[in-house]
Amino acid sequence: MARILNHGAPTRISKSRDIGLFKARVNIVDYIAAALLVDDPTFELAKFNGDDEYRCLCPFHDEMVGSFSIYYTSQQFYCYGCGEHGDVLDFVIIRNEGVNDVMGAMKFLESTNALESVAKYPITSRTKASLGPIDPAQLATWHAQLLDRTWLYDRLITDRTIDRYQLGYVPSKEAIAIPFWQGLPGASPVKIVQMRSLRQDSKRKYFGYKGFYGSALFNQDFLSTKSDYIIVLFGTFDAMLARQDGVLAVSPNGANVYRSEWTEPFQQFEKVYIVPDKGNANEVKAAQQFAAKIGPTAYVRSFPDGDWGKDYTDWRMDGGSAYDFVDHILDTEQDRSF
């Protein structure tokens, strides 16, 4: 939810500190890009739908597909995921503890030398979600570099699953590469590659590989499977582990991600169960919106109660079985279509 900004009571200031003139000294695109790059070396900003809008991952909520837009002409930002919005001073207020009003934001910018030393960030041009299928040789190279699989083993992912999906490791990003296969894993094109950072200090756990990002569905080949039902989880590794367990589950690469071309395949199932993480209000809302786009055959489900964690991986790591999970999800007493 977007927060209410406190711009403070009217304050008499000199012409040299006029708010309008002050903001004119800071290009919001350059400032936000530079500020986020300092916090996260994996940060990427790209032109989006023309020359006026720039898009990146939102710094105010966790997401895997960028919904945070910065507009050059209006010098405003807006997140289509969480609703945060404003100008460069609002950005400073929201992002920095102890900065509570416009005057404080102006002082912050001056004290950090932001007005004179904002570094120009090399912005890439992007009007489409992806450049096209990634070179299989690149995937093979990353896969061969995944020598230490401990992080995956700790999440119950087996060697067979790792090899099946051709998970890899990208040293320059210190991240696991997760190909989103358009069809059968290992035997179809890959247009989207998601990265899972292994850096302890990373501000972003998930991000897209440059040039190969956009809206995508993990385990997309399941949409052509003949079954009475299909389950939608909000987590790539959750869907990966579920498939390993024999569960028909898919996952979008972001809670707020949906593509219109998924509607018809989803509607071929008698029931579609969308399961947001336990205790995550944003995902519950996203699940309701996801279900509404599919229609009356879609249902929002909740995980079983108990002190065991928040998602499918936590459920399994805490001793829960795939059978009990599916049995709970298929419980008709929970039915509530959208």
Average pLDDT over residues 96-107: 87
The highest-confidence range among 37-51, 194-208, 230-244, 283-297, by mean pLDDT, is: 230-244
Cα–Cα distance measured from residue 220 to residue 6, given in angstroms and rounded to the nearest whole number: 45
Cα–Cα distance measured from residue 317 to residue 314, given in angstroms and rounded to the nearest whole number: 5
Cα–Cα distance measured from residue 149 to residue 128, given in angstroms and rounded to the nearest whole number: 33
Domain range 15-117, its CATH number among 3.40.1710.10, 3.90.1150.10, 3.30.70.1400, 3.90.580.10 = 3.90.580.10
Mean pLDDT (the chain) is: 84
Residue 11 has pLDDT above 80, yes or no: no
217-338 topology per CATH? Dna Topoisomerase Vi A Subunit; Chain: A, domain 2 (3.40.1360)
Q: Out of 2-11, 241-250, 304-313, which region has the weakest mean confidence (pLDDT)?
A: 2-11
> 329 near 168, Cβ under 8 Å?
no
Handedness of CA 196, 84, 276, 179 (dihedral sign): negative
Q: Does domain 129-214 have CATH number 3.90.980.10?
A: yes
> 132 near 153, Cβ under 8 Å?
no
> 176 near 193, Cβ under 8 Å?
no
DSSP letters, 75-141, are: TEEEETTT--EE-HHHHHHHHSTT--SHHHHHHHHHHTTHHHHPPPP-PBP-SSSBSSSPPHHHHHH
Sheet holding 229-233, edge to edge: 217-218, 249-252, 229-233, 271-275, 298-300
Q: What is the pTM for the complete model shown?
A: 0.68
**Topology match between the domains 129-214 and 217-338:** no
pLDDT tens-place string over residues 200-255? 887 778 887 766 667 789 999 999 999 999 999 999 999 999 999 999 999 998 88
